[in-house]
């Protein structure tokens, strides 16, 4: 050990001595040398053939997409079109899947198990709990994801994301955050956990923490279905039929935009309170536009994103289905566990413009945000004691919009409940995978706790304020 | 016989061997060679990675997409290769996390060959990184990617001239179209097996004060660690006051390098989080 130590000291002291001779700005001279060498080698190797093309397509597109005036409207327009395509396109395949998996297959399985004389609790636990929750998640999530992810990936391949970052950079800087946060936020629209890993591109720990804490305000794909479903039932339902899709898409976009606004507000607040500091500069490269390789992109985004995300959702939905079924069927003092919880939290929920059912659903759905809506539907049926819907307590049933609307009506839902559900779905704690990722990245219990509790606290406050104002006005 | 000559002719041709490429995905126990993929952000490293391993590491047209190391494998000409996709960086000098991941791997992971993917349309900026990588390792291949885009922009890159100036093989590719990938595999395997020996570029525009200082320190380092493969680079980093390298000298980690202890496999198991 000592030998190693002395050898090391020998080298280090020599380095210290020599550094004086090498000149005061060794780092700068070194960089300069590297740059000079690079430019000499490049000069010798590269030549231009012919004249510069007179019309530069990339420049022209950039001038439009990153324009001071058109940049933001173009962004909103592109987002709206993407969601409109998703909502309109997913309707038919969703209901077909529901018919297949829930109406037909589930009924057949139930009939089969009745014929075999399987006891009600085994059959209920497996078919009404485990199977139905998985089937529900597939029917609701697969079609929108199969449309949304390929379109989003095509935009990414084309080179649009860095332009979004460019447009937002100034706002991020003004909120005291790093401009690259625009990139990680955009990734958060896909998956918050993946985006949190991606914050590694941000060098400064302060700015990286801001990016991690606020990433939850980027609506992730687990929450898109909730937003899309609630928006199409309540908000699309207010509009004439031919506009319903567009109006719902606009509602979803507003929630997404609100998320972006909250990202700025919270970043600003953090960087002026517990994470004080100056925003550091960075250079953002706008890569050339590349024609996307359409077929390959569609294939890989189907396999890598859609199926993997779907698989994760199913894996989480199955145990959640079990929990729901059990909590609805285990009775204590004449009421099921779920009903006890709902009755207990209902006053608090109503104060927030939500209800006990929604709060319980969020507790059940901590592992995966995807299953919030199915849980709410099931629990609403249960607590409203609706006859003829679902085959008994704790059953998740089909996402048919008219039935869903009926369930909501029976549960005492109003437009306020819907709006607040959308708001709360945007502003609440990250899912357990994301929380775990935050811990892995920061290795800090303090910042993980803050990242988890800050949004849920804000969600309560926002919902409370909206509910009180709403009730004052109506 | 005529058939035999034809077969021999085929054996000598890289195209024949390209047919021997077996994409192994993540299944890569017992590799013979470790290949590192380095390069600036958004130059198509992940696309090259996918073309070689058959994996579908997500690619996207924006810088900074890969922030963690991705690993995959392929087998070629009876050799098993483990391919490591490093985060894209503009330099190896500063201290952000992604640069450190890339730098540490090239230095301590001691890959058998480092493939530096460069964007042919932005050669000068990309060469800054190439020059820094060549200071660390002798075994490198430059993958001159996006050559199709360069043509579209009216740029012509003389890859032979580039290879002569850099002292390492240069392979022009258009990875998105799979163009040039067979030649890239052939070349990287030649460097990995030692069939081709590189004489990499060394800095030429240093001031005389720098050159003397570096020379003195290199002598010192070489007298202490005679087998260290990149004493010159270590000297540069020490003069720059790089804390990570000072630490590596102090703990003897650098000494292990010279004894060949930090071989790729051990490094992996040690560093794997």
Higher pLDDT, B103 or A266: A266
pTM above 0.80, yes or no: no
pLDDT reported for residue B173: 94
Across-strand partners of B80?
B75
pLDDT of residue B1 exceeding 50, the answer is no
pLDDT reported for residue A458: 95
pLDDT of residue B48 exceeding 80, the answer is yes
Beta strands in A106-156 (DSSP E): none
Cα B239–Cα B243–Cα B248 angle in degrees, nearest 5: 95
pLDDT reported for residue A398: 46
Between chains, do B158 and A46 touch, taking CB under 8 Å as contact?
A: yes
pLDDT reported for residue A243: 83
CA distances from B239 to A10, A43, A297, B217, B245 (A): 14, 29, 47, 9, 10
Q: Are B220 and A10 in contact (CB under 8 A)?
A: yes
pLDDT reported for residue B207: 81
pLDDT of residue B63 exceeding 60, the answer is no
Q: Are A184 and A437 in contact (CB under 8 A)?
A: no
pLDDT reported for residue A464: 94
Beta strands in A340-427 (DSSP E): none
Contacts of A285 (CB under 8 A, 6+ apart): A162, B41, B42, B63
pLDDT reported for residue A222: 74
Among partner residues B121, B205, B239, which is closest to A37 by beta-carbon distance? B205
Residue from B26, B61, B69, B178 whose CB has the most chain A CBs within 10 Å, to mutate: B61
Q: How confident is the model at residue B261 (pLDDT cuts 50, 70, 90)?
A: very low
Between chains, do B213 and A53 touch, taking CB under 8 Å as contact?
A: no
pLDDT reported for residue B262: 41
What is the number of other CB atoms lying within 10 angstroms of the CB of residue A416? Answer: 17
Q: B139 to chain A, minimum CA–CA distance in Å? A: 19
Question: Among residues A208, A191, A263, A264, which one has the least CA distance to residue A430?
Answer: A191
Chain B: residue whose CA lies nearest to A35: B128
Over its length of 474 residues, how does chain A's per-residue pLDDT go in tens digits?
A: 466 667 778 888 888 888 777 666 787 888 888 888 988 999 888 887 766 655 677 788 888 888 888 888 888 888 888 878 877 787 788 888 888 887 888 888 888 888 888 888 888 888 888 888 788 778 777 787 788 778 877 887 788 877 888 888 888 888 888 888 887 887 787 778 878 877 877 878 888 999 999 999 998 877 877 787 788 778 877 778 788 888 888 898 899 999 999 999 999 999 999 888 777 766 667 777 877 778 877 877 777 667 776 787 788 778 888 888 888 888 888 788 888 888 888 888 888 888 888 888 888 877 667 778 777 877 776 666 544 444 444 444 445 566 677 777 777 788 899 899 999 999 988 887 788 889 988 889 999 999 999 999 999 999 999 999 999 988
Among partner residues B132, B205, B251, which is closest to A36 by beta-carbon distance? B205
Chain B: residue whose CA lies nearest to A300: B56
In chain B, what residues touch A10 (CB-CB under 8 Å)? 220, 224
pLDDT reported for residue B13: 55
Burial status of residue A52 (CB atoms within 10 A of its CB: 0-12, 13-18, 19 or more): exposed
Residue from B165, B239, B254, B272 whose CB has the most chain A CBs within 10 Å, to mutate: B239
pLDDT reported for residue A211: 93
ipTM for the complex? 0.80
In chain B, what residues touch A198 (CB-CB under 8 Å)? 64-65, 67
Give dist(CA B127, CA B119) in Å, integer: 9
User: Could you identify the residue written with the tokens 């130590």?
Assistant: A5
In chain B, what residues touch A211 (CB-CB under 8 Å)? none
Q: What is the pLDDT of residues A5-55, one digit of tens each?
A: 677 788 888 888 887 776 667 878 888 888 889 889 998 888 877 666 556
Across-strand partners of B140?
B114
- What proportion of chain B, given as a percentage, has pLDDT over 70? 76
In chain B, what residues touch A195 (CB-CB under 8 Å)? none
Average pLDDT over residues B99-109: 81
* Beta pairing, strands A331-332 & A335-336: antiparallel
Q: Are B119 and B41 in contact (CB under 8 A)?
A: no
Q: How confident is the model at residue B59 (pLDDT cuts 50, 70, 90)?
A: low
Between chains, do A285 and B61 touch, taking CB under 8 Å as contact?
A: no
Beta strands in B86-138 (DSSP E): 113-119
Q: How confident is the model at residue B210 (pLDDT cuts 50, 70, 90)?
A: confident
Among partner residues B56, B162, B236, which is closest to A304 by beta-carbon distance? B56
In chain B, what residues touch A50 (CB-CB under 8 Å)? 154
Q: Are A130 and A317 in contact (CB under 8 A)?
A: no
pLDDT of residue B179 exceeding 80, the answer is yes
Reading the block at residue B167, the tokens are 């002292």
Between chains, do A161 and B60 touch, taking CB under 8 Å as contact?
A: yes
Q: What is the pLDDT of residues A92-146, one digit of tens each?
A: 888 888 888 878 888 888 888 888 888 888 888 888 888 887 887 787 777 877 8
pLDDT of residue B25 exceeding 80, the answer is no
pLDDT reported for residue A10: 80
Between chains, do A198 and B64 touch, taking CB under 8 Å as contact?
A: yes
In chain B, what residues touch A3 (CB-CB under 8 Å)? none
Strands, sheet with B140-145, edge to edge from the N-terminal-most edge strand: B22-25, B70-76, B79-85, B33-39, B113-119, B140-145, B170-172
Q: How confident is the model at residue B2 (pLDDT cuts 50, 70, 90)?
A: very low
Between chains, do B235 and A15 touch, taking CB under 8 Å as contact?
A: yes
pLDDT of residue B76 exceeding 50, the answer is yes
pLDDT of residue B95 exceeding 80, the answer is no
Q: B23 to chain A, minimum CA–CA distance in Å? A: 17
In chain A, what residues touch B98 (CB-CB under 8 Å)? 200-201
Q: B1 to chain A, minimum CA–CA distance in Å? A: 45
Between chains, do B157 and A45 touch, taking CB under 8 Å as contact?
A: yes
Q: A327 to chain B, minimum CA–CA distance in Å? A: 39
User: Could you identify the residue written with the tokens 């636990």?
Assistant: A125
pLDDT of residue B24 exceeding 80, the answer is no
DSSP characters over A54-110? SS-HHHHHHHHHT-TTTHHHHHHHHHHHHHHHHHHHHHHHHHHHHIIIIIIIIHHHH
Higher pLDDT, B50 or B262: B50
Reduce the DSSP state of residue B94 to 3 states and report it. Answer: coil
pLDDT of residue B19 exceeding 60, the answer is no
Between chains, do A38 and B130 touch, taking CB under 8 Å as contact?
A: yes
Between chains, do B61 and A159 touch, taking CB under 8 Å as contact?
A: yes
Chain A: residue whose CA lies nearest to B152: A53
Between chains, do A201 and B58 touch, taking CB under 8 Å as contact?
A: no
Q: Are A183 and A198 in contact (CB under 8 A)?
A: yes
Q: How confident is the model at residue B270 (pLDDT cuts 50, 70, 90)?
A: very low
pLDDT reported for residue A51: 60
Q: B149 to chain A, minimum CA–CA distance in Å? A: 9
pLDDT reported for residue B56: 60
């Amino acid at each position: 050990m000592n030998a190693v130590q002395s050898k090391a000291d020998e080298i280090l002291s020599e380095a210290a001595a020599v550094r004086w001779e090498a000149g005061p700005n060794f780092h700068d001279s070194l960089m300069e040398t590297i740059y000079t060498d690079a430019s000499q080698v490049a000069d010798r190797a590269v030549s231009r053939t012919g004249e510069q093309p007179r019309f530069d397509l990339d420049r022209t597109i950039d001038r439009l997409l990153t324009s001071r005036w058109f940049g933001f409207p173009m962004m909103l327009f592109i987002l709206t079109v993407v969601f409109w395509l998703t909502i309109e396109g997913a309707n038919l395949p969703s209901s077909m899947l529901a018919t297949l998996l829930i109406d037909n297959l589930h009924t057949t399985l139930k009939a089969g198990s009745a014929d075999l004389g399987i006891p009600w609790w085994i059959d209920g636990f497996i078919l009404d709990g485990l199977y139905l929750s998985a089937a529900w998640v597939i029917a609701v999530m697969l079609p929108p994801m199969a449309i949304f992810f390929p379109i989003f990936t095509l935009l990414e391949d084309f080179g649009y994301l860095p332009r979004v970052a460019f447009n937002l950079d100034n706002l991020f800087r003004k909120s005291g955050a790093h401009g690259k946060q625009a990139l990680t936020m955009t990734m958060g629209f896909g998956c918050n956990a993946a985006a949190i890993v991606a914050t590694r591109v941000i060098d400064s720990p302060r700015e990286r923490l801001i990016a991690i804490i606020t990433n939850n305000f980027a609506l992730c794909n687990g929450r898109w279905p909730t937003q899309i479903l609630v928006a199409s039932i309540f908000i699309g339902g207010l509009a004439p039929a031919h506009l319903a899709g567009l109006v719902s898409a606009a509602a979803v976009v507003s929630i997404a935009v609100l998320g972006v606004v909250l990202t700025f507000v919270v970043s600003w607040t953090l960087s002026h309170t517990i994470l004080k500091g100056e925003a550091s500069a960075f250079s953002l490269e706008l890569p050339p536009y590349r024609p996307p390789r359409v077929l390959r992109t569609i294939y890989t985004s189907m396999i890598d994103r859609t199926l993997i995300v779907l698989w994760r959702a199913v894996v989480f939905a199955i145990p959640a289905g079990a929990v729901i079924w059990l909590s609805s069927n285990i009775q204590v003092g004449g009421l099921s566990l779920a009903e006890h919880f709902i009755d207990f939290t209902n006053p608090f929920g109503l104060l927030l413009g939500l209800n006990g059912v929604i709060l319980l659903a969020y507790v059940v759905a901590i592992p995966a945000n995807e299953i919030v809506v199915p849980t709410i539907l099931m629990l609403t049926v249960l607590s409203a004691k609706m006859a003829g819907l679902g085959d008994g307590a704790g059953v998740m049933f089909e996402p048919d919009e008219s039935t869903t609307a009926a369930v909501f009506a029976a549960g005492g839902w109003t437009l306020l409940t819907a709006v607040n559900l959308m708001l709360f779905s945007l502003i609440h704690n990250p899912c357990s995978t994301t929380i775990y990722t935050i811990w892995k990245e920061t290795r800090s219990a303090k910042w993980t706790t803050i990242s988890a509790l800050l949004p849920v606290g804000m969600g309560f406050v926002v919902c409370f304020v909206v509910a009180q104002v709403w009730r004052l006005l109506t | 016989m005529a058939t035999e000559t034809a077969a021999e002719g085929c054996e000598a041709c890289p195209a024949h061997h390209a047919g021997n490429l077996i994409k192994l995905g993540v299944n890569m126990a017992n590799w013979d060679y470790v290949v590192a993929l380095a390069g600036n952000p958004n130059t198509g490293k992940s696309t090259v990675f996918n073309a070689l391993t058959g994996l579908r590491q997500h690619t996207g047209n924006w810088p900074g997409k890969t922030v963690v190391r991705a690993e995959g494998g392929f087998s070629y000409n009876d050799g098993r290769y483990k391919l490591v996709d490093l985060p894209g960086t503009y330099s190896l000098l500063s201290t952000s996390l992604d640069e450190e991941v890339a730098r540490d791997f090239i230095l301590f992971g001691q890959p058998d060959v480092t493939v530096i993917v460069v964007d042919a349309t932005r050669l000068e900026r990309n060469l800054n990184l190439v020059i820094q990588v060549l200071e660390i390792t002798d075994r490198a291949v430059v993958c001159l990617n996006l050559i199709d885009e360069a043509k579209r922009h009216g740029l012509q890159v003389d890859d032979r001239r580039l290879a002569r100036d850099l002292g390492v093989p240069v392979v022009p590719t258009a990875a998105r179209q799979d163009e040039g990938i067979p030649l890239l595999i052939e070349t990287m395997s030649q460097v990995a097996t030692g069939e081709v020996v590189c004489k990499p570029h060394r800095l030429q525009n240093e001031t005389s004060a720098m050159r003397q200082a570096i020379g003195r320190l290199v002598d010192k380092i070489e007298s202490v660690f005679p087998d260290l493969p990149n004493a010159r680079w270590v000297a540069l980093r020490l003069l720059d006051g790089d804390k990570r390298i000072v630490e590596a000298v102090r703990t003897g980690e650098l000494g292990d390098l010279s004894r060949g202890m930090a071989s790729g496999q051990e490094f992996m198991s040690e560093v794997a989080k």
